[in-house]
Structure 1
Amino acid sequence: MARAPATGGSGRRGRRVIGAEHVSEAHQRGRVVIEVLPGDIVTAQARESAERLKIRLVDGPLEKPAVVRTDGATAMRRTLYRRSPKWVAPRPQHTRNARRVRRLALVGAGGVGANIGHLAANADIADEIVLIDIAPGMAASVALDLNHASGVSRSRSRATGGTELSRVAGAEVIVVTAGRPRTPGMTRADLLDINRRIVRQAGEAIRAHAPDAIVIVVTNPLDEMTVEMLQATGFPRERVLGMAGTLDSSRFRNALALAAGVPVSDVEAITLGSHGDEMAPITSRARIRGRHLDRFLSPDQIAACVKDAVTGGGQVVALRKTGSAVLAPAHASIELIDHIRGARAGAVPASVMLRGEYGIEGVVLGVPCHLGASGLVEVEELDLSEAELAALRAAADAIRARLGGAATG
């Protein structure tokens, strides 16, 4: 619709004279309607031009269409679509059916345990957060700190802390982070004998005081400690999970995003196998903006990203000198808890006892899992390449060897 300029008036709209030149200008701009307001004069030449150019002269004022308002997320998706019509950023797999955990217990209130408590409180995912640590005052101080923060965060979660393992009583979910961390030059396997006693002691207390809990093991060496927890509690495999694949997958996605120069939200990738040197980043299923890695990265770059994922934990240890990673493991633990409480949907990598999946029997290994209120629902068997499947089986053999060669479970 076109509107001719006013030709007079001061402080109010003047009378317009719509001439042939206005009709011609409207035609050049692709207009098909010219609005004629009360008092406007339309010349005979303008009418002839309008008829010839098939432009309608319509008495106004015409009702203006409402302004279409677009939210920021939709606007961003449209921008990304225009950049690459074949790719649309995936929505996070969050659901509206999340339930709050009645009681979340954290065995170990050091770096990882304290950060899990902080994230859980900020997200308001539990009624009560119980922290337990052998060091006097450690768990109680973290709990008090979290409660003080609630005045800002407005979280409904209340935290308590102490040294007694009996505090796990009544917990729905228990995360075990207690144990000695790695130091520079130390592998996760070097911690096997040191942390085995700690995990067994925690497992016996859980069996006695929280027989219905779901246990998430974070203590290293993670896969082996998950086996120890299974044996100490006597729980079925559905209720003893190891947090590993969530952390390793996050490191792999970060490496791919940095190498490709894209936001990490553009990357989908999963890492399976052991939480150690036998880790198996699954490159065949990894995608950047929905496309195979080789559309963005060279084979050498992909290999470097795989190495970065495998050595990521060691890189943090080398920089910290006196401990290992605390933030990423805490986020990865919360991801598992979110799947258990129904806040996230789909498969998530976790270490579980295998019962023939991927042709592997009687060993704990990181695989894609569907989780729910009762823990493990099912293991999802992906279509892997021969090399990836061989890597999984090699990881299983290595874990058996470190545990003494006997079948577990």
Structure 2
Amino acid sequence: MTISIIGSGKVGASIALNCGLRELDSKINLVDIIEGLPQGEAMDINHQLSVQGLDSDLIGTNDFSVVRDSKIVILVAGVGRKPGMTRMDLLKTNASIVKDVATKISQHNKNAILIVVTNPLDPMTYLALKTTKYPKNKVMGMGGMLDLSRFASFIHEYTKLSRESISAMVISEHGEKMLPLIRFSSISGIPLNNFINENQSNEIYEKTKQVAAEVIKLKGATVYAPGNAVATMTEAIIKDKKSVIPLSAYLEGEFGVNDVCIGVPAVVGKDGIEKIVELPLNDFERQEFEKGIQNVREAISSLPL
């Protein structure tokens, strides 16, 4: 069984490289409709892996049918954000792409675990779930793991403490309504609020929500952190790690929410989403979480389901 990545632009290639560096499978497919692009990216990545003694082989192809043997399919196809755009600005364009790609995935493979990366992440995860008709545990969106990496980076910046000691959590929408959870974050098990004051807490909270737009403004796209985030999720599945990862999942009563995909903590293993971890949110956290749900519901209402 292999890993297939659909979409070989900057993020797709970064995912492929990160999966290769971790040797998550002996063969990793990089698929795209653009002639030559996945083949060229695969060659370039293979050249790096070869001198590092790593034995994952990247296969670049325009043949979509290669997904038939894949345990994990990663859907990255779509248009990326431009400076000044929100993730929701991509809704109409990317919905048609995701629906088409998800249909093809389900035609070739009925048993894969699907990781969605295309923005706006939560509505696209919902669309992919409904289009493929896969079990809800086998469809997940990447957002929370990426948001967590940014949150943890700011915690490190403010505390000057080792990144290795930092444990962070972000839930809700992968977008402007994301919810960095200061109260559920810690340094070596010690609550984060023991290391920062209220003003610093507020600054970290706001910066985490805004930093993706800043990166896009400065360099045009976010590439490396998304690639690592998806590889982390993929590794949890391949190695059955039972990792607790924030991701976009379909809720049926968890957190008091139904029929929406939204960022929540989940146990990830060989069967995909094995359990959703419900958190006792306080009034402020619940209010912010609900804002994210409302945003995603509005987007879902316009999807071509």
Same fold at TM > 0.5: yes
Alignment of 1:114-125 (within 5 A): 114-125=13-24
Equivalent position of 2:225 in the other structure: 328
Determine helix, strand or coil for the equivalent of 2:115. Answer: strand
Q: Quick one: which amino acid aligns to residue 268 of structure 1?
A: S
Q: Note the alpha carbon deviations across 1:113-152, whole angstroms, 9 max, x for none.
A: 1111111112111121101112210001111222333321
Q: 2: distance between equivalents of 1:260 and 1:234?
A: 45
> Where do 5+ consecutive residues of structure 2 fail to align?
none
How is 1:81-230 mapped onto 2 (pairs within 5 angstroms)?
Answer: 102-230=1-129
Q: Which amino acid aligns with 2:222?
A: A
**TM-score for both structures, normalised by structure 2:** 0.95
Higher CA-based Rg: 1
Report the alpha carbon displacement of residue 165 of structure 1 after superposing the two structures with TM.
Answer: 2.1
> Is the alpha carbon distance of 1:217 and 1:248 closer, same or farther for their aligned partners in structure 2, counting shifts above 3 Å?
same
The corresponding residue for 1:348 is 245
Measured in 2, the distance between the counterparts of 1:244 and 1:283 equals 18
Q: Which of 336, 354, 358 in structure 1 is aligned with 2:255?
A: 358
Aligned residue number for residue 375 of structure 1: 272
- What is the aligned residue count? 305
CA-to-partner distance for each residue in 1:336-372, whole Å, 9 max, x for gaps? 1111123634311110100100101110011011122
- SS, match of residue 347 in structure 1: strand
SS of equivalent residue, structure 2 residue 267: strand
Does residue 402 (structure 1) correspond to residue 273 (structure 2)? The answer is no
Contact 1:176 1:219 (8 Å CA) reproduced: yes
SS in 2 for 1:369: strand
**AA of the residue aligned to 1:378:** K
Does residue 269 in structure 1 map to residue 205 in structure 2? no
- SS at 2:26 equivalent: strand
CA distance in 2 between counterparts of 1:405 and 1:105 reads 29
Aligned-residue CA RMSD (Å): 1.7
Aligned-residue offset at 1:282: 0.9
Per the TM alignment, residue 391 of structure 1 is displaced from its structure 2 partner at its CA by 1.7
1:308-340 residue CA offsets vs partner (Å, 9 max, x unmatched): 1111211111101xx320100010001111111
Q: Distance in 2 between matches of 1:375 and 1:134?
A: 27
Comparing 347-356 and 397-406, the one that deviates more: 397-406
Question: CA 1:336/1:211 → structure 2, altered by over 3 Å: closer, same or farther?
Answer: same
Which consecutive residues of structure 1, in runs of 5 or more, have no partner in the other structure? 1-101
Question: Which one has more relative contact order, counting CA pairs under 8 Å at least 6 apart?
Answer: 2
Identity %: 31
Whether the 8 Å contact between 2:242 and 2:269 is mirrored in structure 1 is no
TM-score norm. by structure 1 comes to 0.72
Distance in 2 separating the partners of 1:286 and 1:372: 23
Aligned counterpart for 1:282 among listed residues 159, 181, 184: 181
Bigger proportion of residues as helix: 2
